[in-house]
Each structure stands twice: as structure tokens, then as C-alpha cells.
A and B are shown apart, each in its own frame.
Chain A
Amino acid sequence: MAVAALVDELRASLSAEATVTASATAKLVYSRDSWPRLSLQARAGQRAISPPDLVVHAGTVADVVEVVRAAGRHSLPVVPFGAGSGVCGAAVPIKGGISLDTKRLLDLDLSRAADGLICVGAGWIGQRLEHELQRHGYTLGHFPSSIGCSTVGGYLATRSAGQYSTRFGKIEDMVVSLRFVDGEGQLRHTTEGPLDTTQLLVGSEGMLGVIVDAWLRVEPAATSGRLFRGYWCTSVSQGLEAMRRAIQAGHQPAVFRLYDPFDSFISGARKAEEGELLLPTDPQQWPRKKAPSWLPASLSPAELKPRLMTAANELLSRRPSATHWLNILASKAETGCLLIAGVEEASDEDAALLGRALFDDLGSRLQDLGPAPGEYWFAHRHDVSFKMAPILAAGMFVDTMEVSAPWHRVAALYDAVHAAVENEAFVMAHFSHAYTSGCSIYFTFAGFGADESDCLARYDRVWKAGLSAVAAFGAATTHHHGVGLLKAAWLGSDQPGGAPLFAAARREIDPAGILNPGKLWEVAP
């Protein structure tokens, strides 16, 4: 196949808004998403798994149709690409082909917003969409930490969740229907047939169609109706029990987050317990930590942090058991857990009513820390995505693993995963996305390696050990990051017997198998 000829063919047939390129830069950029393992590989000097043959920015839905048809004629894979914020490798074009960027699909129909419905193009970045909706008095209620660098199409393709999912649900709860281009280049609607196939397309990670737009539910936006409260729990179990009881009693907080002892320590919860959070309401006015006197005063915090990381890396990489002992030390750093609860409603009146009921319920069981911890979290809720780069730059590995389980297994699952990975990495977790029958655990792990190769090997061992523990527990190995290449081997645990069903759907929608091939159930276990 002559790529140059295909580029010319597409340039001639696509709209003026579309671009087609086979430049080395574009191919490098679209060879990966934000899967941390790919960053480790890049740091180690390894090349991308496989770059695409060319990159197309579709300007219209008709462009998507044309690109898929052209790909079919040339037997080339098509890999839909949103903003590349996925952390599991779902958008990596492992078999080359066309990376199809959908960010220019920016139609927005607000004519039914008063009915609680909008039609939105797949390319909208979450933050921009939310701004636009709030300008008209509405909210989608979808606030992932990646909101500034992720698209509606990506949310739908990976079953994304935002930080307010307990109140608004996950993206699969928000979508009413969607349009997609199938593997034969036909534009289809999920409700056109006798059966609604919306939930078949949601989570299909580009393998059952290129999502071009969707009808989503919206609600009136909160202007000031937002209230937070922090609570101190003596243990993870006590915090989980308080969450479970509150959810099953019918409360619907927008935010419900329980941090384990180490994560509570990191988040400054101990200060809250000691009363040091009797601080100005504005978190920006809180005092900064004073540096120890033995550190060189000439170094700024920005300069100091990577040096300390590097020193720790060099020190600890010579002691294989160091992470085990540091995990034990970390567990002693804090003696309790921070729970943050928050409500968000369209009016102050509603928020006050809901908040009072929820906060009274929690306050009857836990120590009330007041609003400061929650307000601090709200001000810094998107920071986590920006904390990974310095850790990677310091020579460490870091990643997050979100799993879910019924309530009766959550605490034991937390212990099991912790035990499975603690010899290889530091591990901490918070519990969020609470539902009537269960909740999600969000693990963060970080570690060191003797060299880049050892770092990658440890990273892989951590994931294998962690997900094996989750699967052995009968819990779900992914809650809202999707599957990608990272978790495909565990699909058989989450949906046993799903392979023939998925293959049947694939044959129906994409008989030639050109849409994002080699992912989900097509990954060899």
C-alpha cells in the first residue's frame, strides 16, 4: 500500500476542515496515549510499539465515514483517537493504519437542554464542554481528573467516570444514545433497530465503531449550591461502613472519598485531626510546610524534589526489600483515615437540605473535621495528573489502578492487593465512586528499579500481582480507566465467556475487523 497515494486520495475526498498527514512528528505523537508504561519505555530509549501509517483529523462526520471506507478499501486499520489521555494503551495503533483524530467533531445541540438532553460531538474536550454548558446554566456532571485533556468520545469508548459519579453516575448512565460509523463506513444510530445497542458501543474502545456524537443527559448547573465536610475515621473499615450505610440510606453525595492511612497522611489529614485546619477558608492562604534546616536553603522546592527522588531511587534500588519496609513505615505514619463528603445541587436550598441530612448521618458516627478538608480537595482535585511527571522524571515508576467490588469484599480486597504489591512498590489507595451495592478502590503505586530494565520489569510485576489478586477475589479489574492493552488479559475474569459474544458483535458491525484491531478480546491471554 502506498501511503502517499492514500494521503492524496483522502486529501481530495475529505472536507476542508480535515487534515491528513504522514509526517514523522504526527506519527510519533499518535503512536501512544498516556499509558505510564509507554513513558517508562520512552525514558528507557525504546521506540514506540508501532506508529500509525498516517494521521487524519476528521473535520466532519462525513469525513469519518470516508476515512473508514478508504481504510476498508486499502485493508488498513482505523484507530480512533480522542485526546490521548487514556492510561491503558487503548489508542495505541499496534497494527499501524490510520489514527483517526475526532477532536474536530464539535457539533453541539442545546435545543433540548431544557429537557435535560444535549447532543454533543465526540471531539469536545470535557472542560470546554462543561464551560459551555455552565454558560447556559447546565452541567454534564462529569468531572474526571483528566477533564482538561480528554474528549466525550473517549469517555464513551472507555466507560469513564468523573469525581462526582456518586451523584451523576458514570458516562454510561449519562448517555441516552449515540451515533457511530461501523467498520463498513455506515453511519448508524444505536436506537435505529429493534434493540437499543447503546451499551454495546459504550466501552467498545473503538472496536465496534467510531463514535461521532451522542445524546447525553444534563442537569441544571450548581452555582453556589456546593457543600463539603471532612470526617476522621479510626480505620479503613470504619470509613467504609460509614460510606455504605449512608449510600444505602438513600443519600446521594456528589463527592465521597475515603483515603487510606498513607493517602490520608499525604493529603495532610493529620493536621486536620490536630486542629491545624482551623485555617482561612481560602486554601491558597494556608501556610506552606517549612523545609527542614538540614536541607540547602539555596535550593527551591522545585529543584529539591527531583534531587531527593533521585537520591532515594539510588539508595533504595540497592535494597530489594526496601519497599516492603517503607510500606510498613508508611502504614505507621497515620493512625486513621480521612473521609470527604460533599453535595452539589442546583440551588443553595436543596444543597443545604441534602447536606444537612448527609452530614448529620456521618457526624453521628465519625469525628467531624469541618469543611476545610473538602474545600482543599476541591481546589486541588485535578492535581493528581500533574504529579506523575516529576516522579517519572526522577527515575521511578508510578501508576494508578482502579477496581471495584461489592461492599462485603471491598476491605478484604484492599488488603489483598496491598499485600500482593507491597514488596515491589509503595502503595496507597482511596475509596470513591460509591454505589448502593459496592464501590471502587483507586490504588496508587510507585517504585524504583536498579536500572530502566528492572524498573519496567517491576512495573509489570506490580500490575500482574495486583490484577491477579483482584481477579482471584472476583472483583472487577477496571472501574473507569477502560481495558486497553494493559488489562485485556483479565477480561476473561471480568466477563467470563464474553469472547464469542464480542466476536459475534464484531462480525456484525465490523466484518473485516479494521477498527482498532488487536484490543479487548483480540489480545491473546
Chain B
Amino acid sequence: MTDRWQATRSLTPAHRPWPIAAGQPTLFVPASLEALAIELQRAPAAALLPLGGGTDGLATTQPDALYQLDHLLQPASVDEASATLDLPASMTWGAAQAIATAYGLTLTDLPDAFADATVGGTLARAPWQPVLHHSATARARCIGISAMLLTGERYHYKTASRTASGPDLRTHFLGRAGATGPILRATIEASREGHLPHDLSLPLTAASLQAVIGLQRRFGRALRLLPTPAAATIRLRLRSDRPETALLLDALVALGAQHTTQLTNERPAADRWLTLPFAEASTLIEATTELFCLALGPTHLTVALRKSHPPIALANHELIREGLLGAGFTRHSEVSQ
């Protein structure tokens, strides 16, 4: 049996940028998954959490200890024909993308901020999920997981694209911040390189949000809205693999859109996402100046509030959030697809 305290060493902020200021959680390095299972059964709930990439600025739970899984998990594997990667939860998206690239695949158009985030940490992130690819979230791209319950039992969700095998029990782990047990592996659906949207972005003025929404309704599968630093500007990204893109380009030019070649992504990791049906979006956007990011899904407008954005004090942020909820926004655990 592994002695938890003999295996523990200090976790310093310099070592891992864990956001909890008060106290220092210790790092537990189990000798095996079986040893981890024993510790999980001993520890009170949420006292022992898996160590991710330390990129989540929203963590609110302070565990007694974090446990490391890197050394216990099998390396990544690739199913080239099915365009899927079976990834250890401790792998960063940046490392995963490097593997995918070697096989002519790409996981996502991942925000830079997530290059250091781990696969398991992103899937366990509660309750918000980043948009990773054409309004598909990490969860939407995750077609299978292996996880461990707090009892030490294992759970595995098959990696077929779609099944009808009862309720999706991944709900027990996804978005639970590791409190219900660690995600050990995830199978992620990738895209084939060469068929992805190229980096063409078009800045638009948001004065006519309804026009943009109209575009989304017609061309939703060909474009996506990218986050921008101000609500006054909307940046559209076009999928070059969609035949209707040509029609969309004409429509955008008619709206005065200009081409740019530089694609930027300024969305911070600490964004909180809220969504609103299109019908109510326009008024709200005009009335709100504190919104940081925008994104469009097939049915909803999604806005993000940057919790740590300097001009917005936390209190103001909460007021805005409550105001949005009162105005009809609904909180989603992830962005609607």
C-alpha cells in the first residue's frame, strides 16, 4: 500500500500555478491506480482532487491534496481511419495536437490559453466549457471516457460515435471538477487537416446584430463568431470546406465586411459563458457594455464575462451576471451546439 504522506511533496506556486492563494495543497503521487483508489476511498469528498494543468482560474474548491496521474496512464494512441485520439487525461491539448498533426489530423482550433490545459481538466471543468471547434465543445468532441469512481471502481464509455445504450453516465464525471473521481482517459474526435476552415476572418461592426444573426441562421454551418475584446466588433470565421461559403462571402461584403488574414484569439481562460435566444439578444447587447466576448450557436447568442478583466470589479461582474440572468439569459454548463 502506498503511504500517502511519504509520497507527498510540496506544491509551490512556482511549480504549478494553482490559483488558490490560501494554503498549499500537497501533491500525492500514487504508485498505481489501485493505490489511488484506496486513497480516494479514505479521503473525504473533494479533499483529494486530480491535478490538471493549473489553468483554470475559476477553481473554488481547495483540496487537502492533489494527485498526479501522468506516470500511471498509458500513452496516447490514434485511430487514423476513425479520426479519433485516445488520450491520457493528464496530456495537455498542446501535446495532443502535436500528435494529431503527425497523423494529418487536428483536434480543434484551440484557444491559445488551452494549450497548457489538460484533457481531463478541461472535461472536468465546471460548469463552463470552452468552444473548441465550430461551436463544438470539448464535451461534444469527447466520444468516450475512462474514469474512476470514488469507490475505486472503473467506468468506461464506449467510443462509438453514437449509441442508444441508456443514459449518458459520463454526466457523473464531466463538469464535476474531479470531485466524483478522476477522468483517466478520453477519446476525442478530430478533424482531418486540409478540410478545416482556413484562417480567414472578417471584422464586422455589431451595429446590426440582427443582420449577423440572420447570417447565422442561414449559414450557421459555414461560419462561427469569434470572441472579440469589445461587443462593438464581431469577427466571423468562415469554414472553407463548406460550399455555401461563397454565398456567405458575397453577403458579408454587402454588409461592408473586410478581410483580414490574422486570426487572433483573445478569450481568457476565466470567461464565464451565458446564452440567450436570438430574439432577445439584440436589445441586451445594446444595453450592456461590459460584455467581453460573443459567440453564436445555431440557436443562441452566447456572451462571456471576463471575471478577471481589470475594468470590471468582481462585484460589478456579479451584478452584470445577475442582470443578464434576469433579462432572460440562461446559464449553460457548456455552450449550446
Binding site for B on A (CB under 8 A): 112, 114-117, 158-161, 165, 170, 172-173, 176, 191, 194-197, 199-205, 208, 217, 220, 244, 248-250, 252, 346, 349-350, 353-354, 356-357, 404-408, 433, 435-440, 474-483, 487, 491, 494-498, 500-502, 504-505, 520-521
Minimum CB distance partner of A406 in chain B: B82
B83 within 8 A of A: yes
Chain B residues near A159 (CB-CB < 8 A): 162-165
A-B complex: 8 closest residue pairs judged by Cβ atoms: A494-B165, A497-B155, A435-B161, A159-B164, A406-B82, A250-B241, A476-B160, A116-B299
Return 16 A-B CB contacts under 8 Å, by A number.
A115-B279, A117-B299, A199-B167, A199-B168, A353-B246, A354-B244, A407-B82, A437-B189, A476-B163, A480-B164, A483-B164, A483-B165, A494-B158, A495-B166, A501-B169, A504-B172
Closest CB in chain A relative to B147 CB, distance in Å = 8
Per DSSP, are chain B's interface residues mostly helix, strand or loop, or mixed?
loop
B321 within 8 A of A: no
**Residue interface bits B260-298, CB-to-A below 8 A is 1, else 0:** 000000000000000001110000000000000000001
- Whether the Cβ atoms of A501 and B332 lie closer than 8 Å is no
- Whether the Cβ atoms of A495 and B279 lie closer than 8 Å is no
**Residue interface bits B145-159, CB-to-A below 8 A is 1, else 0:** 000010101111111
Closest CB in chain B relative to A363 CB, distance in Å = 15
Chain A residues near B153 (CB-CB < 8 A): 497, 500
Q: Please, how many angstroms separate the alpha-carbon atoms of A234 and B169 in the complex?
A: 41
Closest CB in chain A relative to B321 CB, distance in Å = 14
**Residue interface bits B314-337, CB-to-A below 8 A is 1, else 0:** 000000000000000011111011
Minimum CB distance partner of A170 in chain B: B162
Closest CB in chain B relative to A368 CB, distance in Å = 19
- Whether the Cβ atoms of A408 and B161 lie closer than 8 Å is no
Q: Please, how many angstroms separate the alpha-carbon atoms of A475 and B162 in the complex?
A: 11
Report if A495-B221 is in contact (Cβ < 8 Å); known contacts: A112-B277, A115-B299, A436-B83.
no
- Whether the Cβ atoms of A482 and B164 lie closer than 8 Å is yes
B84 within 8 A of A: yes
Q: Please, how many angstroms separate the alpha-carbon atoms of A476 and B143 in the complex?
A: 12
Chain A residues near B242 (CB-CB < 8 A): 250
Q: Please, how many angstroms separate the alpha-carbon atoms of A197 and B330 in the complex?
A: 15
Chain A residues near B154 (CB-CB < 8 A): 496-497
Chain A residues near B160 (CB-CB < 8 A): 404-406, 438, 475-476, 479
Q: Please, how many angstroms separate the alpha-carbon atoms of A303 and B155 in the complex?
A: 54
Report if A201-B79 is in contact (Cβ < 8 Å); known contacts: A115-B279, A117-B277.
no
Chain A residues near B334 (CB-CB < 8 A): 196
B243 within 8 A of A: yes
Q: Please, how many angstroms separate the alpha-carbon atoms of A481 and B164 in the complex?
A: 7
- Whether the Cβ atoms of A116 and B166 lie closer than 8 Å is no
Closest CB in chain B relative to A351 CB, distance in Å = 10
Closest CB in chain A relative to B236 CB, distance in Å = 18
- Whether the Cβ atoms of A217 and B298 lie closer than 8 Å is yes
Report if A501-B217 is in contact (Cβ < 8 Å); known contacts: A204-B167, A249-B192, A482-B164.
no
Q: Please, how many angstroms separate the alpha-carbon atoms of A261 and B166 in the complex?
A: 32
Report if A191-B166 is in contact (Cβ < 8 Å); known contacts: A249-B195, A405-B160, A475-B160.
no
- Whether the Cβ atoms of A194 and B127 lie closer than 8 Å is yes
Report if A433-B162 is in contact (Cβ < 8 Å); known contacts: A195-B126, A195-B175, A406-B84.
yes
- Whether the Cβ atoms of B158 and A161 lie closer than 8 Å is no
- Whether the Cβ atoms of A202 and B168 lie closer than 8 Å is yes
- Whether the Cβ atoms of A116 and B243 lie closer than 8 Å is no
Chain A residues near B151 (CB-CB < 8 A): 500
Chain B residues near A406 (CB-CB < 8 A): 79, 81-82, 84, 159-161
- Whether the Cβ atoms of A200 and B163 lie closer than 8 Å is no
- Whether the Cβ atoms of A201 and B195 lie closer than 8 Å is no
Closest CB in chain B relative to A343 CB, distance in Å = 10
**Residue interface bits B170-204, CB-to-A below 8 A is 1, else 0:** 11100110000000000001011001000000000
B1 within 8 A of A: no
Report if A353-B333 is in contact (Cβ < 8 Å); known contacts: A248-B83, A494-B163, A502-B166.
no
Chain B residues near A500 (CB-CB < 8 A): 149, 151, 153
Which of A172, A200, A349, A436 counts the most B-chain CB atoms under 10 A from its CB? A436
Report if A201-B167 is in contact (Cβ < 8 Å); known contacts: A116-B299, A170-B162, A500-B151.
yes
Chain A residues near B235 (CB-CB < 8 A): none
Q: Please, how many angstroms separate the alpha-carbon atoms of A116 and B300 in the complex?
A: 9
Chain B residues near A202 (CB-CB < 8 A): 167-168
8 Å CB interface, B233-247 against A: 239, 241-244, 246-247
Chain A residues near B337 (CB-CB < 8 A): 173
Chain A residues near B171 (CB-CB < 8 A): 195, 197, 199-200
Closest CB in chain B relative to A153 CB, distance in Å = 15
Chain A residues near B83 (CB-CB < 8 A): 248, 407, 436-437
- Whether the Cβ atoms of A248 and B299 lie closer than 8 Å is no
- Whether the Cβ atoms of A495 and B175 lie closer than 8 Å is no
Chain B residues near A116 (CB-CB < 8 A): 217, 278, 298-299
Closest CB in chain A relative to B247 CB, distance in Å = 7
Chain B residues near A440 (CB-CB < 8 A): 162
Minimum CB distance partner of A502 in chain B: B169
Q: Please, how many angstroms separate the alpha-carbon atoms of A408 and B81 in the complex?
A: 6
Q: Which of A160, A407, A482 contacts B81 (CB 8 A)?
A: A407
Chain B residues near A250 (CB-CB < 8 A): 195, 239, 241-242
- Whether the Cβ atoms of B279 and A408 lie closer than 8 Å is no
Report if A436-B191 is in contact (Cβ < 8 Å); known contacts: A200-B167, A406-B159, A497-B149.
yes
Closest CB in chain B relative to A258 CB, distance in Å = 16
Q: Please, how many angstroms separate the alpha-carbon atoms of A172 and B167 in the complex?
A: 10
Q: Please, how many angstroms separate the alpha-carbon atoms of A250 and B197 in the complex?
A: 10
Chain B residues near A200 (CB-CB < 8 A): 167-169, 171
Closest CB in chain A relative to B58 CB, distance in Å = 13
Q: Please, how many angstroms separate the alpha-carbon atoms of A491 and B167 in the complex?
A: 11
- Whether the Cβ atoms of B157 and A495 lie closer than 8 Å is yes
11 new A-B contacts, CB < 8 A, other than A248-B192, A480-B164, A491-B165, are A116-B299, A159-B163, A195-B127, A202-B168, A248-B191, A353-B247, A437-B189, A438-B82, A494-B163, A498-B169, A502-B166
Chain A residues near B84 (CB-CB < 8 A): 406, 437
Chain B residues near A197 (CB-CB < 8 A): 171
**Residue interface bits B70-82, CB-to-A below 8 A is 1, else 0:** 0000000001111
Chain A residues near B191 (CB-CB < 8 A): 248, 436
- Whether the Cβ atoms of A521 and B166 lie closer than 8 Å is yes
- Whether the Cβ atoms of B163 and A479 lie closer than 8 Å is yes
Q: Which of B80, B81, B162 contacts A435 (CB 8 A)?
A: B162
Q: Please, how many angstroms separate the alpha-carbon atoms of A204 and B167 in the complex?
A: 5
- Whether the Cβ atoms of B155 and A501 lie closer than 8 Å is yes
Q: Which of A161, A195, A407, A408 contacts B333 (CB 8 A)?
A: A195
Q: Please, how many angstroms separate the alpha-carbon atoms of A438 and B176 in the complex?
A: 28
Report if A436-B81 is in contact (Cβ < 8 Å); known contacts: A205-B166, A483-B166.
no
Minimum CB distance partner of A88 in chain B: B164
